[in-house]
Amino acid sequence: MTPSPQGRRAVVIEDHDDIRNLLAQTIGMRGFAVTTAATGREGLEAVRRNGADLITLDLNLPDLDGMEVCRRVREFSDAYLLMVTARPGEIDRLEGLELGADDYISKPFSPRELQARIEAMFRRPRARAEQADAEELRRAAEVQRSLLPSAAPVVAGYDVAGACRPSRSVGGDFFDWYATEGGLQVSLADAMGKGMGAALIAATVRAVLRSAAGQPDMERAFRDTCRHLENDLDHSGSFVTLFHARLDTARGVVDYVDAGHGLGLHVHADGVARLRPGGPPVGAVPGTSWTPGRFALAPGDALVVVSDGLLDAYEDVDEAVHAVAEATSRGADARAVCAAVLDLARGAAPAADGPGDDVTAVVLRRLPEPRAGA
């Protein structure tokens, strides 16, 4: 066999321990960095998180049918996909190939056959334009991942979490947070577009927002930030929806500016309030001034900000808002709420021109006060 280029990534999705280890070892011998997953959901997350040049996929998984995993993979990845299964039927093979699999190998198999099939797939390169698009998305995905916080901040009396699930390896969504004297700043933005262009715009927005973190007047800091961004956005023909908030941790007061985002929610004991936007998206109307808002987080309340990719799963905004509120009230902690909100978007139908929008969520929950005598 010809040597495989170094730096390729593979994801092995297989629930049987011995077969999973055999696949990983055999593929690793060809120079791939291998990530393994025992369930379909773990495998999908691994491909989204790390990217993949090769995916091996078992059809009989404990949580999702392999055909469904294949369909979901093809919404955001063009990795070579090899189905590995004990199902002997021709119908299964044809269905898998129609859903986007590149080849099929039946259990039991020999390591030699597996390596031969992988080499044969990689001798069939994607069309040049598709390869260029895939490379751009791969690089853009790395940019986007670098923008996301590596860990949630530790804020006494509060629980904070965030999550982002891109639709097709990368998009324009990002979230950010950072501690300030006496509080916390939280941002969620969505740059129009996909690919490297959207990722670079998102990186610029994040950097400019952070540069203004020390200004005491949030309204002025936000306005100055947007003035810096407008020229770049005008040249690129783009705009950004942006929700930016500052929390005073001692008082539980949240000051915020919503620039065309419209999906900041105050979830409280009596229900949910949708926070009012303060103006259009950044870059849509140069010279705009945005009206700030303020509200108080009582113990047990939460600020939940989601991106508009969630709306693809619902008939109208109100339905989506109430679904998020219910998920928030059921969640044991902020991280669980984020996961539940992203799961709400799984029911979205694919867009007519390809995969749907990114889905991002940030949750800032004020912890309930300890019970007397507890």
Task: Identify the structural domains of the chain with CATH numbers, from first to last.
Answer: 9-124 (3.40.50.2300), 149-366 (3.60.40.10)
Q: Is the pTM higher than 0.75?
A: no
pLDDT tens by residue, the chain, 374 residues: 333 445 789 999 999 999 999 999 999 988 899 999 999 999 999 998 888 999 999 988 999 988 899 989 988 888 999 998 876 555 556 677 778 888 888 888 888 889 888 988 888 766 544 555 566 666 666 666 776 888 888 999 999 999 988 765 556 788 999 888 889 999 999 887 666 677 778 888 888 888 887 788 888 888 888 888 888 788 777 889 999 999 999 999 999 999 999 999 999 999 999 999 999 999 888 888 899 999 999 999 999 999 988 888 888 899 999 999 999 999 999 999 999 999 898 764 444 344 456 789 999 999 998 765 55
Q: Is residue 113 a contact partner of residue 121, using CB atoms and an 8 Å limit?
A: no
> CA-based angle 239:177:297, to the nearest 5?
100
Q: What is the per-residue pLDDT for 123?
A: 82
Tokens of 153: 């901040």
Phi, psi of 117 (to 5 degrees): -70, -40
> DSSP labels for 284-303?
TSTT-----EEEE--TT-EE
Distance of CA 173 to the CA centre of its chain: 8
